[in-house]
Structure 1
Amino acid sequence: MDRNIPLSLPTCKRIFLTLTLLTSVLTFGQNREQALQIQGEYNVSKIHSFTSELKKDFTTSRTKVLSMAKSNGWKISETLENGNFVELQDVGPDGSPIYYSTFSDNVSQVSRASSLYSNGSLHLDLTGEGMQVGVWDGGVALATHQEFDTRANVGDATNDISAHATMVMGTLIASGVKEKAKGVAYKAKATTNDWSRDKIEVSEAAANGLLLSNHSYGIKSDRVPEWYFGSYIKVSQDWDKIMFNAPYYLMVSAAGNSQRMGDNKAPIYGKSSDGFDLMLGFAASKNGVTVAAADTRINTDGSLVSATVANYSNFGPMDDSRIKPDIAGGGNNIYAANSSSATSYDTSSGTSMATPGITGSMLLLQEYYERLNESFMKAATLKGIVLHTADDVDAPGPDFKMGWGIMNSKRAAELITNKDYTSIISEEILNEGDTYSIIVKADGNNTLIASISWTDPAADYVNRGLLNDITPALVNDLDIRILKDGKEFLPWKLSAANATDAAAKGDNSVDPFERVEIANAFGEYIILVTNKGNFKEKSQNFSIIVSGIKTTDCMIAVPTGVSLEEATEDAVNITWDAQTDALFEVQYREVGIGDWTTEYHYETTDSLKGLVNGKSYEVRLRTFCSENVVSAYSPIIEFTFQGTETHLEEVFVLEELSVIEPLKLSIYPNPAVEQISINGSVSQNAMFSIVNTMGVTIKTGEANQKKIDVANLSTGLYILTVQDLVGVKATKFYKS
């Protein structure tokens, strides 16, 4: 399939017409209708078949585990001196007991999802309300804790209340009865389960539309032989199969906290004390997201100052050189709900605490994407966006300590907002042997970044005892390249044999996510996605994500030059100034009465129909540069319809007050750092708003004090609008 799609104006128009721009009713969360929409794309019989296999395996395995535990004197479960809970879950192919362990030391802090809240820098009002998330852990959370309201549901018939599970749940969904314990997705619902039947329960939940689950636990690393580390084993395969069968579902797991324990005596790289080659079990699956913990310093505007991997967080690589962990989040000194009572709290550190910060942030991104597009992202898309927008740390490219870097929820949300304006987010399918290609134009200011992400089929081969086995787990090998003037730009890759080396650029044949970056990009580029053939099922779904581009020459500007033209007995034509590539929204109604009549045009004229002689009407317009990138409305204008004698009255209708001297708006300083001041007089009723270049209003308030705090704004260009008695005036300013 050769897809040559230059992002010209006609393409942009087709995008507009096929999206849901014209609806004003948005739904949120994961209701029954949304679950059915997700299930409609699944092979439900295949999921049920695999779930049945898991149930049979569980019954057989449990009998074997209990028998061997009795014969060998193994403990079934215990609580360690550091508070971690461990439990015997399985026996490996070599007879080794496999214990699951919670990953927590003591103390922590969460990711930058605050930029997505109503009072955050993007003012998106994302809360997780209506969204669902699953939590599997060493026991269940205290569902009656005051932080959970009625939003925590116990999925297992168990009385094993876990302090660890409660803190994880709190980091995800706590409402903020105590503000510093507030969860990332603080209005979401969560189901808490113990880990004993995790694969079975997740497979069933995923079949019913579950999008995300949190697993802040893993195999205890001091109780398995060295060949387990970095290996693709049966449990890795099982989780990959669950995610492949249910491609909207994504597992998020903790990397573990044994960096300094020396548990792997024969790592694929370095000495045991170096901390490399510690990935185990489902943290080693290809399709899930594995989370490291980091010590971070972040500015009030959300920009990363510095980051280092936490001194307990496990390092990769996988033995086949796959990049694990995938991403890092804040893992230190997190204050969260505790299970001692319904009003108790505690602090904790560890990858256990970093993981729900990432899971909760991704849940908010799914909420936001669904709000804008009326559908959820596939797991590969969500994972791809998170890795595409992560804050790079130290040397350019990924590493085996923090993967692609520190999660940046703000940048991820901006990428989603700018879809089809300065970014591409597209879910595609590639047939075996075919090529996908698009032509993009660099914006000339930002690094051109193109990524592909896919949910890969579970590998048939699993390691059963070979130390540091480099056999690739990747099944369907997709490749992304960027071409310009005969030059080929390649994706990042890492080598397990040289784990401390900076990332190189070359053919990546092991990771189901690839990213190409071009600094100082200028002009047009061709992005190619190809494959090496031999797909397991003859085709592969994938997601492509591109940023640092221009898909249109449209500018986010309020329409100007509005005038009335030819009128009939019940209608009047309105015109306005043209703008390249813009879609215009026109709204009109009888003054102050009823809902707006809304129409959309690429042309610069509209016929306002159904008007009644002698009645007064109001009109406003705004500019769409993509489905989600929109200007503020023009000032409301009023006219009285007089049939063919209608003319425009040059009056801004704001309040029923007498006209005063027109507002002359200027500000200082410009560029601004901490605050801006308004020159000239404004009335006691004047209001201001600050709009960013995406058309999102990020700050409002009273303008009569004439001083506006902008310290928390990100660096960039903004529009200040002041609405006073006689109308609206606007000016641009730069926040440095």
Structure 2
Amino acid sequence: MDCKKPTWATGIFSSLIFFLFSFFLGYGQSKDQREIIRSSYDHQRIDRLISEFATEQQTKESKIRQFQSKGWRSLEKFRDGTVVALKDVGSDGTPLFYTTLNDPTRQTSRAHTLYSDGLLDLGLDGTGMSVGVWDAGVALTSHQEFNGRATDNDGSAEVGPHATMVTGHLISQGVKPNAKGVAYGSEALTHNWTRDKIEATEAAANGLLLSNHSYGIKSDRVPDWYFGAYIKVSQDWDKIMYSAPYYLMVTAAGNSQRSLDNETPIYGTNADGFDLLLGFTTSKNGLTIAGANTKIGSKGELQQAQVASYSSLGPVDDGRIKPDLAGDGSSILSTSSETNTSYDASAGTSLAAPGVTGSLLLLQQYHEELFGTYMKAATLKGLALHTADDVDAPGPDYKMGWGVMNAKAAAELLQDKEYSSLVQEERLEEGNTFSITLKARKNETLTASISWTDPEGEYINRGEMNNQTTALTNDLDIRITKDGETYFPWKLNPSRAGDAAIKGDNLVDPYERIQIENAEGEYTITISHKGGLRDGFQDFSLLVSGAQVSACSIEVPEELDLFSASEEGVTLFWNATEDTLYELQYRTFNQAEWQSTMLWESQAELSNLAVGQIYEARLRSICTESAVSEFSDEIQFEFKGEETELMTYETLGVGEELHLTVFPNPAVERITVDAKLSEFAQYSIVTTAGNIIKKGKARGAIDVSCLASGLYVLVVQDHTGVMSTKFYKS
């Protein structure tokens, strides 16, 4: 990976994670890592699922041929690149037309802050990572922006302009800088949407982490009961993600807000734009992405945001929080399939979705760099929702879900893991609870979330208008308690979709979050469940921020001192603080480069020192890559074997401030010290390389005629301390 992160950051945090986890830090999704994911799955269950989808595909194709025989057009292509295809048949016999979700009319997710020279300067670009893309046809893999990193993964002969555009927004390398993709070093595995469920299940079983789906059911060709309904295709994708818990599907919400297509919404009138989500966008386990118009500041902060006027709004019928997140769907320049060097601009949730997908891929890359493993999909999803920028009223809404994707905040939460944040993957057995007590960081917001990949819902809507039967199978609950007070998670009411979120018992969402403003003191977080649990357990991910997880301190270390000396070297020591990693730097006096060593202990041995040379050392505390103290004041010593003693001044070269001067300066034959000194004062003349080349009593004139021309440091040590100044020998 081409990572230009400063040397200290790479060395320090890599050492920190090595000490914490004791394994090699790899980069990218290697064959071995995919095998680890593969081996954790129940492949008999996945094989049954693939067989079920294959049988269903044959039946579906037969029904589609029947519609074609009656004169139905199965494929339409429009000048703006939009594709409409008869792709499925609903349980009620409705022909389901899928369409790409661009609207003919990178920075928003803050992915740019993760690049080399970005605000966090993490050197992330997706190198070694793979992302699946299903769309209307496959991408033009020979485009100059892909450089061999886009693969036609199902042998489709149908090259799609929309698929090329979406793939470009994910992985374009930046031949045309304004068209650079979000994860511009990654590989895209592109597929025609015809067999999406079968192929995605196979890919997930083989370790695929993420896929992007910027298409969906055409909203003007279905009965009103379809809007917001949990139907078979919703259930099928939940099955896939539950069977392959590292796999996360990201979908575009759609562009139907102003369509007036739903005459019977669950809330308001069709002009309000609510209740427009269809098909797999209503699945529980995936991420559904809305389009947003945003303004981002120079420090990556969200300055303003509003839902795009085209973006389809929730809720889904059972009241779950959908869409989940918002991304940038404004006019995006991306690759075109006309030629290998052509580009085009478009807008819509088709572009918002890959912006989020690419950001999530970078976060998986970063997690693997830090901790040597990938996150389960529930953890990745929870991380994105936990760190999203809230918009308008506090809490989620049915327009942009939990807010605008913020990859910078998500990466910082990972950096602070086990310091001021928690990211834990746990299992809740049926009948049990999980509890943890944490101290809040004073004057911060304590935020705790749980996220889980839920088994598919048992109820499938087959024609009932706005049926609110919950799709949730395993109902987990998070609560925070302190001094007899209980704090509840956010929830929304689909019958009052325009209202702000409230706090209470959330019965429908597989993600719950509690926020406590200005938290102070100790709080207990408890995870429990209602009723039984399918399979007798439920895996879940716990995310916490704003807590004092460890006792690590980023105060400047105190009392750095010389503990002992021998003929081989010296031992330095300092006051210890709990759970803190230290970086000790030392060098020969006046050398440009420091040598660095990382230690958990509060002492360090320095060996292979040269007798007669002056050394200096400094120290700092490290809790995370972003939580690092300033360096301590430097200490200096002349190495004399067992007779080594600490020089008790702060820094060589500041003698002028300590009232030490010499004249003449520049010197020719002799220099005279101008300072109040005792008869015991001693001097040393030190080269810029740190070598002591002359020493003696600091009384009267000092002969420098034997010195070569150049810059030197005069060090004078007396009972009052040590002083120094520079002089030039001409």
SS state at 1:52 partner: helix
Residues 231 and 279 of structure 2 are in contact (CA less than 8 Å); yes or no, is this contact kept in structure 1?
yes
User: Aligned residue for 2:396?
Assistant: 398
CA displacement 1:25-60 (0-9 Å, x = unmatched): 531110112112222322223222212222222223
Out of 46-55 and 556-565, give the one that drifted further: 556-565
Residue correspondence of structure 1 range 186-585 to structure 2 within 5 A: 186-570=184-568, 572-579=570-577, 581-585=579-583
In structure 2, do the counterparts of structure 1 residues 387 and 73 end up closer, same or farther at CA, with 3 Å as the change threshold? same
Classify the secondary structure of the residue corresponding to 2:195: helix
TM (norm. structure 1) is 0.82
2:84 aligned counterpart, secondary structure: strand
Does the 8 A contact of 2:108 with 2:295 survive in 1?
no
Q: Whole-Å Cα distance in 2 between the matches of residues 366 and 48 of structure 1?
A: 26
Against the structure 1 CA distance between its residues 197 and 651, is the aligned structure 2 distance closer, same or farther, given a 3 Å change threshold?
A: farther
Q: Conserved in 1, the CA contact under 8 Å of 2:581 and 2:598?
A: no
Out of 495-504 and 642-651, give the one that drifted further: 642-651
Give the Cα separation in 2 of the matches to 1:195 and 1:636. 63
- Partner Cα distance (1:34, 1:605) in 2: 38
Tell me the distance in 2 between the aligned counterparts of 1:613 and 1:636.
20
CA distance in 2, matches of 1:106, 1:27: 42
Shift of 1:621: 4.0
Cα deviation digits, residues 641-660 of structure 1 (max 9, x gap)? 5543344567999xxxx957
1:42 is paired with a residue whose SS is coil
Deviation at 1:146, TM superposition (A): 1.4
8 Å Cα contact 1:171/1:184 also seen in 2: yes
Give TM-score, length-normalised by structure 2. Answer: 0.83
* CA shift in 2, pair 1:24/1:262, >3 Å: same
Out of 181, 192, 195, the residue aligned to residue 179 of structure 2 is 181
* Aligned partners of 1:372 and 1:628 also within 8 Å: no
Stretch moving more, 640-649 or 273-282: 640-649
CA contact (8 A) 1:289 1:327 kept: yes
Residue-pair matches, total: 646
1:522-565 CA deviation, whole Å, 9 max, x = no partner?
21111111101310011111111111222245332453432222
1:156 shift after superposition = 2.1
Spell out, residue by residue over 1:565-620, the C-alpha distance to the aligned partner (whole angstroms, 9 max, x if none).
Answer: 2234545321023345423244679999999784532x422344687878998866
Segment of structure 1 superposing worse, 644-653 or 101-110:
644-653
Indicate how the Cα distance of structure 1 residues 487 and 149 shifts in structure 2: closer, same or farther if over 3 A, else same. same
Output aligned runs, 1:48-197, within 5 Å.
Answer: 48-66=47-65, 68-80=66-78, 82-106=80-104, 111-197=109-195
Identity over aligned residues, as a percent?
54
What does residue 680 of structure 1 align with? Answer: none
Segment drifting more, 510-519 vs 607-616: 607-616
**Distance in 2 of aligned mates of 1:621 and 1:340:** 59
Cα distance in 2 for residues equivalent to 1:18 and 1:150: 33
> What's the CA shift string for 1:694-736, capped at 9, x where partnerless?
xxxxxxxxxxxxxxxxxxxxxxxxxxxxxxx99xxxxxxxxxx
2:17/2:371 contact within 8 Å kept: no
Corresponding letter in the other structure for 1:33: D
Q: Which residue of 1 aligns with 2:680?
A: none
Q: Give the Cα–Cα distance (whole angstroms) in 2 for the partners of residues 401 and 512 of structure 1.
A: 18
For the aligned residues, what is the CA RMSD? 3.0
Residue type matched to 1:220 in 2?
Answer: K
Deviates more, 1:510-519 or 1:29-38: 29-38
Taking a change above 3 Å as real, the CA distance of residues 663 and 141 of structure 1, as seen in their structure-2 partners, is farther
Bigger drift between 121-130 and 215-224 goes to 121-130
Task: Tell me the SS of whatever aligns to 2:450.
Answer: strand
Matched position secondary structure for 1:361: helix
SS in 1 for 2:582: strand
The alpha-carbon distance between structure 1 residues 188 and 476, as it changes in their structure 2 partners (threshold 3 A), is same
- Name the CA distance, whole Å, in 2 between partners of 1:442 and 1:622: 25
Structure showing greater Rg: 2
Alignment-derived partner of residue 675 in structure 2? none
Match of residue 38 from structure 1: 37
- Distance, in Å, in 2 between the alignment partners of 1:510 and 1:662 is 71
What is the Cα deviation at residue 82 of structure 1?
4.9
Deviations 1:249-306 (A, max 9, x none): 1000000011111222221111122211111111110000000001112222222222
Q: Aligned letter for 2:345? A: T
2: CA distance, partners of 1:161 / 1:98: 22
Distance in structure 1 (CA, Å) of the matches to 2:631 and 2:400? 43
Q: Which runs of 5+ in 1 are unaligned?
A: 1-15, 665-684, 686-724, 727-736
- Of the structure 1 ranges 573-582 and 448-457, higher mean CA displacement relative to structure 2 is found in 573-582
Alignment-derived partner of residue 4 in structure 1:
none
1:612-623 pair list within 5 angstroms: 621-623=619-621
Deviates further, 308-317 or 272-281: 272-281
Q: Hey, what's the Cα distance between the residues in 1 that align with 2:356 and 2:25? A: 25
Could you say what secondary structure the match of 1:146 adopts?
Answer: coil
CA distance in 2, matches of 1:131, 1:423: 26
Aligned to 2:12: none
- Counterpart in 2 of 1:27? 26
Q: Tell me, yes or no, if the aligned pair for 2:290 and 2:400 is still in contact at 8 Å.
A: yes
Amino acid at match of 2:161: A
Conserved 8 A contact 1:570-1:613: no
